Structure 1
C-alpha cells in the first residue's frame, strides 16, 4: 500500500535559531542601516537611472550592511529560470524550463521540487540570492496573459506544486517569494481592478492556494499584487497582510511590494515590509518619509524593527547568512535533461482517434506552421528566460508592456522539426509556414501524415481578447484536415483555446510553452519514445458563454480614482469559490476538456474506495489497476462531489503512478480538512458541518468511476 499526505498542519515551525539570531543582529543596527534594507531600486539601468554600483543586473537590488555581514539582496525574476532582462548581463543565458502551467500538467510533486532546485542552483551560482518565483494565482480568467506562469485553477494542486517548487529553490539557500498576493487573476486593469469577493469565498479558493504553498514551501518573502481587493490596494491592505497573512497564518517572513505598487509610507503600517523597485513609485516612501515617522513616534520605530527583523529572520531561516551565494559552475546538461523530462511529462494528449499516435514510421510528413523549423514558443514578460542555447528567434510585437518595455515574441532554439527529422530519419519531410491555408493544404495532401503546429502567444501586461487561435490558424487547421485525414495538431499555448476543428482531426496534443528542450520533448511524445502522461490543470471551455464572465471584464469600464491618480473598476467574482471545474459542476456545463483530463496509450480502472474519519480529518483508500495492454502512467484523482446531495466539487487529492499491464496499486490519501469545510466569517474559523459527504475517484473532474459516502455525525470547527 502506498500512502501520501495532501496537506500540512497550518502552522509554520520556527527554523532553529532564526528569530534569535535576527534579534541579536537587529540590536546592533543603526537607524540608517535599518532603513537601507527596507527599500531598493531595480538592479539595472532604468528610467535613465544607473544601476546600483554592486548590482549584478536584474529585477531588483537591496543594499546590505557589510559591517554586520548582511549581504546585498540581488533579486532575479524566476518563474521558469534566471532571467536576463534587456540583456543587461550581455550573453548570460540560463536553463529555460517549461512554463509553470506545463509543470502543473505533470501533477508531479517530486518534479516540481526538482525544478525548484534547478532555479535555486542556477540563481546562487550566478550570484543571485532572492528569486521572485512562486506564482500561485489561480486561473479564474482563462484569457489571463499570465496563466502560463501559474499552476492552474485549483487551490490544492496550485498550492502543493508551488510549495514544492519554493521548497526546492530554498533548499539551495536562496530566498524565494510566493506571489502575487492576492486575487491577481488578470492583466486587464491589473493596476486598477478592484476585486469584489466575500472573505469566505476568498479563503476557500485563492487564499487557500497561498496558504498551502506557504505551509509547504515556507517562502522567505511574500510579494503583493498590484490590484485592489474590496476597495484596498493589496500593498495597502491591512486585512490581507496583517490579519490574514501575519495574523491568522502566523507568517514570519517579510512582505515586499511588486515594482511600482507603493502609494504611501502608510503601507508599512498596513503590513508591507519592503518597497521594491522604488524609483518606479512617486517617492521612496520607505526612506525619508519613514525616517521621519520613526523619529517622531515609538509605534513607527517598533514597526521598522519588525520589518527589519522579518527580513533578517528569513535570511537566517533559508541558510543564506551561513552559506552566501557565490559564482560557481552550473551543470547545464543535467538541467536540460530535466527540462526535457518536465516538458514531456507536461504534454497532454487531448485526442487520439484510430491510434493516430504514436507515429508509426510514416514515409512522408508535412510539417506546417508554428515556426517549428526554428524553435518553440515562450511566454512573454518579466518571466522570459534567455536560453543557454541562445536567444532564438525574436519577433517585435506591437505595443509596450505595463512597465514600458517593448513586447517581443520569442522562440527558444529547440526545433520540433529538427527533432522529428532526427527521430524519423527514413521519412521524407516537407515544410510550410502556414501563412496561406491553401498552400499548406496542398503540401499536406501529398504527405502520409500532416502535423500542424498552432501557437498562441501570451504575455504579462495584456490578456488575450478571446480563446481563438490567432492569425487565422483555425482555418489553417481546417484546410489541412480536409486535405489529409491523418492530421495531428500540436498546440503551443499559454492556456485554454477553443477548437472548432476538433472533430476534423484524429490527434491533438497540448505542449504549452515547452522550454529549451521543448522540440525534443514534442518529438519524443509524437513518436512514442515518451508516453503521454500529462493532465490538464485548467478547464478548456466549449465556449466562452460557459464562463462566469463570458467577455473579458474591465475593458472600457474604468472610473478615475483621484486620490491615487489611477483608474479603478469593480471586478465582481460572483462565482465565489467555485473556480474552474467547480463552476462547471455547479452550473451543469460540459466543457470541451475537463480539469484533470489527459489520454494515455492504456486504460485504468478504479475500485475499493473507502473513506473514513480518522483523528482530525478523513482518509480515503482506493485501488488503481492498469486494465490495458501497455504500461502507462495514471493520475487518479479524488474529489468531493456533494454535501448532503448538493453539488460542491473540490479536488481532495491525487496520486501519480506508473503501472504495467494487469498491475494494481492501492493508495491511502489524507484529506486536508479545509477541503471539506466552509470558512465561517463570523467565527473566523473553518467549519465542517454534520452532513453526508460524497467522494469519488476517477480520471478527471467529470470522469468519476467509483464513489463512497463519508458521514460526519458531529460538526467540527478548527
Structure 2
C-alpha cells in the first residue's frame, strides 16, 4: 500500500513558485537583521498558519476581504472573469499578497464534470464511498484521496468539495453512496484518511455536510430533530473524528435545519461546537444554495458563501458590507471570516505551493489501478452456498444477464458524477425531478462481460439483456453458470422511492434462479436493497457503484483472482418495516410533489414550509438500532465472506487505562483469506454495542497471525454537561466478525477519564486522559 501511495504522489504536477509580492504595510513583517530586506510575516513558514493569516488580514483592504467571503457559481455567472473555468466555484485571489484564486471542484469520487461543462475533460472515477468504506482500510481511502487530489491539482483546481461523511440513517437516502456508512468511527476514520490524501497535494479539502444531511428529497426544507446528547454521540462524533484526525482546511455546512436552525446559520454547530469545543481553525463554507441570511449566518459562524448565484440573494456581497458598516456584523467578525479562510489555505500548503496556471499531464493508467484496487477491496461476498464462487476457469458456458453488463458499470448521480477515462457508453438525461439539471443515469466504460470473457477464454460466454425474464430463464437453463447483474440507480437531490430493485429485476432473478441452480447475483446499488429471492440464489455479491475499472474488479473477484474481502459498512434489512422510518418521510406525508417544495429550487427554501423529521433512534444508528429494537437484519454491519477459511482462537481482553483485544487467526483454506475482526464495546449506562476498533489482515493458505485491536477511547466515552466522560467501571468488550457474529466477549474494568473535544485518537488521547475523582 505504501508503494501505491508514493507512486500516486509522484504523479502530482510540479508546483509553481509565486512571484514576489508587494508588501503593503511594514507592520506586517518580521523584524529584519540590519542590512537585510524584511520578510512579510505571511511569508514566514516558521510561523503558524493562524499567525500568517492574521498578518495577511491586517494587510488587506475592506474590498479585498469582502471578495474572499463569497464565490461565484460558474455555470450561472454573468460576465465571468477571464481566468474562470467551468466548475463548481470560483473565488478571486489577491495577487499583490500572493493569495491564490480558489478554483473549486466537486470531487467526492473523482474530479467531477457532471454534464460536461468542460468538453472532453475526463478524470479517474473511484468506486462509491460505500465501496471504499467496505474495504475497512484507511490506507486505501488515503490512496484514493491522494489520486483525486493529484488530478485536481493537475487540472488547476485547488479546493475539492470532497469528504462526504453523513451517517446513513435512512437506507433510501439518495446520497448514501457518497458517504461511508452508518458507524461514526468507520466514517470518521475513512473520511479523515481521504482528506489527508487530498491535502497531501497542497490543496484544500472539505468534510461535509455538517450536519444531519440524512435525506435528499426535501433537503432544503427538512428540519432534523434529535436529542443533543444523541447527536453528539453519533453524527457529530463522526465529524469530530474526521476533523481531529484529517485536519481538513474547510467544513461545508448542510442544506437542512438542525433542531430549528439552518445548518449554515446554526450557532450551536458552527461556533459553540466547531470552534469553541473542537478548536477548529479552518473555514466553514456553505453548500451551494444553502445560505438564507446575511447577519444571522455571518454571526453564527459561516465564513464563506459558496456558489452565490444559487442563493436567493448574494448575502455576503453588498448586504454584508452594509451590515459591517452599520455594526450589525462586527468588523472583527469579517476579519475572523477572512482569517479562517486564509488559515485553511495556508495550512493545506496551497499558499506556499500554488497550483499550476495551466493543465499538467496525468498518469491515468496508474490512477486506474488505484480505482481498481479500491473496488476489489470493497466488493462484499454476501452469500456463497455450495462454494459456487469463485468461478472455475474451466466452466464451459456462462450467461451474463442484465444490468447493461455488456457495456459498463453503473455510477451514482449528482454532483459527484465523474466523466471517466474511457468514455460513457450509456448516459440518460432526466426529464423531471430535482436532479434533472445536473444528474444523468451514467455508466462507466468497464464491461463485466468483456472482463469475464478474458478470464474464461475457454468458455462460451453470452449476454442477455434481461428485459424478458422468460428469455433470460431459457438462456440460463442452457448455461453452466448464470450471472445476473442487478442495478439500482440513486442520485443527489432525490431519495429512492423504495428499497426494492426497480424495473422488475426481482422477477428476473426469480426466473433465472428457477432455471439454473448455479445462479450468481451481482448487485450494483447505492446502498441496501431488499432480496426477496435470497434463499433461491446460492451466491450474492455486492459490488456497489464500482468505478471506472469496476468490470475488471468484479470479474477478478468472481474468478478468485483476488479474495472477496469487503465488509458491509451498512446493515441490510430483511424488510423496510425493520427501519426506524419504514418509508421516506416526505414521500409519505407531503403533498403529491413529494412534499410540494420538498425538491424546490435552491434559494427558495425560505419561502417554503418546514418539515420536521424526528430521529427517534438517537445515537442508535444502523446496527445499534437493530440491537436496541431486538431485530436481526438480513446482513449485519461488518459482514462479509472470504474465499479462505479463517479460524479464530485464543481471544484475550485487557482493561485498566485502555481497552484492548487480541486474537490468533489461522487460514485453514486453500486460498488467501481476508480477515477483519472487529471490536465492539458496551459502555456502562448504555444497552447497545458500538464499534471501537478493527484490524484487517490477508492470510496466505496455512498462515497464522496474532492480531491486536486497541479500542479508540473516543468511542468509550459519553457526552455529559462536563464534556466527554469515560466512566470508570465494567465494559463489555466483544470481539466479532461483524455486528452479529461473536468470536469472544468479556467484561473488563476501565479506569475511566475525561478530556476535551476535538481530540485525536491513539496514544495521544490515552496519554492525556486524567482520571476522574
Normalising by structure 1, what TM-score?
0.94
Q: Residue 134 of structure 2 corresponds to which residue in structure 1? A: 105
Matched, 1:589 2:631: yes
Question: What are the residue-to-residue correspondences of 1:317-716 with 2, within 5 Å?
Answer: 317-326=347-356, 327-360=359-392, 361-402=394-435, 405=437, 407-555=439-587, 556-557=589-590, 564-615=606-657, 617-641=658-682, 643=684, 647-680=687-720, 682-683=721-722, 685-712=723-750
Shift of 1:426: 0.9
Distance 1:260 1:601 in 2: 47
Matched, 1:294 2:324: yes
CA RMSD of aligned residues (A): 1.9
Q: Which moved more, 1:628-637 or 1:252-261?
A: 628-637
Matched, 1:315 2:345: yes
Question: What's the secondary structure of 1:87's corresponding residue?
Answer: coil
1:207 to 213, 232, 236: 236
Question: What's the secondary structure of 2:330's corresponding residue?
Answer: helix
Q: Residue 30 of structure 2 corresponds to which residue in structure 1? A: none
2:249 to 207, 220, 226: 220
Distance 2:425 2:476 in 1: 27
Shift of 1:49: 3.3
Q: Residue 4 of structure 1 corresponds to which residue in structure 2? A: none
Shift of 1:307: 0.5
Shift of 1:406: 5.4
CA contact (8 A) 1:187 1:461 kept: yes
Question: What are the residue-to-residue correspondences of 1:95-244 with 2, within 5 Å?
Answer: 95-244=124-273
Q: Residue 84 of structure 1 corresponds to which residue in structure 2? A: 113
Shift of 1:50: 5.0
Q: Residue 36 of structure 1 corresponds to which residue in structure 2? A: 67
Matched, 1:18 2:49: yes
Question: What's the secondary structure of 1:124's corresponding residue?
Answer: helix
Q: Relative to 1, partners in 2 of residues 1:129 and 1:714: Cα closer, same or farther, differing over 3 Å?
A: closer
Distance 2:81 2:529 in 1: 43
Distance 1:73 1:302 in 2: 23
Shift of 1:552: 1.4
- What's the CA shift string for 1:416-442, capped at 9, x where partnerless? 001111111111122111011001111
Question: What's the secondary structure of 2:395's corresponding residue?
Answer: coil
CA contact (8 A) 1:400 1:407 kept: no
Shift of 1:716: 5.2
Structure 1 alignment gaps of length 5 or more: 1-13
Shift of 1:623: 2.9
CA contact (8 A) 2:105 2:111 kept: yes
Shift of 1:391: 2.5
Distance 1:614 1:335 in 2: 45
CA contact (8 A) 1:34 1:308 kept: yes
CA contact (8 A) 1:398 1:407 kept: no
Distance 2:712 2:490 in 1: 34
Q: Which moved more, 1:80-89 or 1:305-314?
A: 80-89
Shift of 1:376: 0.2
- What's the CA shift string for 1:274-318, capped at 9, x where partnerless? 000101112111111111122232961100000001111111111
Residue-pair matches, total: 698
CA contact (8 A) 1:619 1:669 kept: yes
Structure 2 alignment gaps of length 5 or more: 1-44, 599-603, 757-773
Q: Relative to 1, partners in 2 of residues 1:27 and 1:717: Cα closer, same or farther, differing over 3 Å?
A: closer
Shift of 1:642: 6.2
Question: What's the secondary structure of 2:555's corresponding residue?
Answer: helix
Distance 1:542 1:314 in 2: 45
Q: Relative to 1, partners in 2 of residues 1:679 and 1:469: Cα closer, same or farther, differing over 3 Å?
A: same
Distance 1:80 1:499 in 2: 27
Shift of 1:698: 1.6
- What's the CA shift string for 1:258-280, capped at 9, x where partnerless? 01111111200000000001011
Distance 1:667 1:372 in 2: 39
Question: What are the residue-to-residue correspondences of 1:239-250 with 2, within 5 Å?
Answer: 239-250=268-279
Greater strand share, 1 or 2? 1
CA contact (8 A) 2:682 2:690 kept: yes
CA contact (8 A) 1:609 1:708 kept: no
Distance 2:343 2:260 in 1: 32
Distance 2:744 2:519 in 1: 35
Shift of 1:16: 5.3
- What's the CA shift string for 1:648-698, capped at 9, x where partnerless? 210010011011234332233332223122211x33x11223332111112
Distance 1:664 1:131 in 2: 42
Q: Relative to 1, partners in 2 of residues 1:104 and 1:128: Cα closer, same or farther, differing over 3 Å?
A: same
Distance 2:261 2:208 in 1: 17
Distance 1:419 1:81 in 2: 23
Q: Which moved more, 1:359-368 or 1:705-714?
A: 705-714
Structure 1 stretches of 4+ with a deviation exceeding 4 A read 558-563, 713-718
- What's the CA shift string for 1:478-536, capped at 9, x where partnerless? 00011111111010000001111111111110000011100011111111111110000
CA contact (8 A) 1:132 1:177 kept: yes
